[in-house]
Amino acid sequence: MKTAAKETFYAFIEKNKHGLLLLYFLIYLPWFGHLEKTVTTHFHVIHVALDDYIPFCEYFIIPYFLWFGYIAWGLGYFFLKNKNEYFKLCTVLFTGMTIFLIISTIYPNGHYLRPTEFERNNIFVHMVKWLYATDTATNLFPSIHVYNSIAVNMAVWHSENFKKNKAFRFGSAALMMSIILSTMFLKQHSVFDVATGIILAVFMYTLVYSNNAVFSLPRERRYETCAARRTKKLHRV
């Protein structure tokens, strides 16, 4: 029993070793947490004229929070169902997130777009107030909310798993667009942050999805057992 259990455990590790890529979050989360604590008052202000024409709308808090589930679903689904797309998605996500961390480290940035008073008092406004209290208006570009949403949607649209499921593909695209809009209508990000997130996502798209030869998994090798080799030799004789 012990031997069988050990073999089962090793087989599980071998089958799911691609999950080790998720250890990246052990780097990202502490680094991001450090930036959130240190970049508070002295930073470069991000603002473009178009920001002033976008009204605040608390209802966008729903797609904004759906982002967390969307990204988790994307990683989890492709981890289990399509290893090749999983590697591509991780490449896009983790490269962009690292670029974001580097930019925020060498160029501290923030904005003053958030409203201080609200016209309405409802559950959505309370959710926004909670968001403002837990997330600083710093470390903004490229917007990770925007960039990661595009990354997951790209994975969905390029995966064979969803080629025949148009409803799911367009649903993913709609959710992506609502998340992107939410970052501006909640005054979490400037239009500049959104634009840089889109530009970076387009660049990574051309790098990863236009070069399948680089980011495709190698074909599985077929190993023959010693008994199989001996059997072949006997047949030759």
Asked whether residue 17 carries a pLDDT value surpassing 70, the answer given is no
Identify the pLDDT of residue 222: 39
Task: Measure the CA dihedral 99/22/158/162, to 10°.
Answer: -150
pTM of the entire predicted model: 0.83
pLDDT tens by residue, 148-160 = 999 999 999 999 9
pLDDT tens by residue, 163-198 = 999 999 999 999 999 999 999 999 999 999 999 999
pLDDT tens by residue, 25-43 = 999 999 999 999 998 888 9
What would the two tokens of residue 163 be?
A: 């080629």
Using the CB atoms, write b or e for 183-195: b if 16+ within 10 Å. bbbbbbbbbbbbb
- d(C-alpha 193, C-alpha 177), whole Å: 15
Task: Measure the CA dihedral 195/21/206/156, to 10°.
Answer: -80
Sorting pLDDT into bands at 50, 70 and 90, what band is 14? Answer: low
pLDDT (mean) for 203-222: 64
Identify the pLDDT of residue 22: 85
Cα-based distances in Å from 153 to 17, 73, 181: 24, 11, 15
Sorting pLDDT into bands at 50, 70 and 90, what band is 10? Answer: low
- Give burial (CB, 10 Å; 0-12/13-18/19+) of 103: middle
User: Which residue has better confidence, 8 or 52?
Assistant: 52
Q: Which of 211, 206, 175, 215 is nearest to 85 (CA)?
A: 215
Q: Across the chain, what does the average pLDDT equal? A: 86
CA 4 to mean position of chain CA atoms: 38
Identify the pLDDT of residue 39: 84
Q: How far apart are the first and last CA of the chain?
A: 40
Query: Taking the CA of residue 145 as centre, how many other CA atoms within 13 Å lie in the half-sphere pointing to its CB?
Result: 27
pLDDT tens by residue, 86-122 = 999 999 999 999 999 999 999 999 999 999 999 999 9
pLDDT (mean) for 136-147: 95
What would the two tokens of residue 134 be?
A: 């837990």
Q: Which of 183, 13, 31, 173 is nearest to 113 (CA)?
A: 183
Identify the pLDDT of residue 41: 81
Identify the pLDDT of residue 13: 62
Spatial contact of 209 and 158, defined as CB atoms under 8 Å apart:
yes
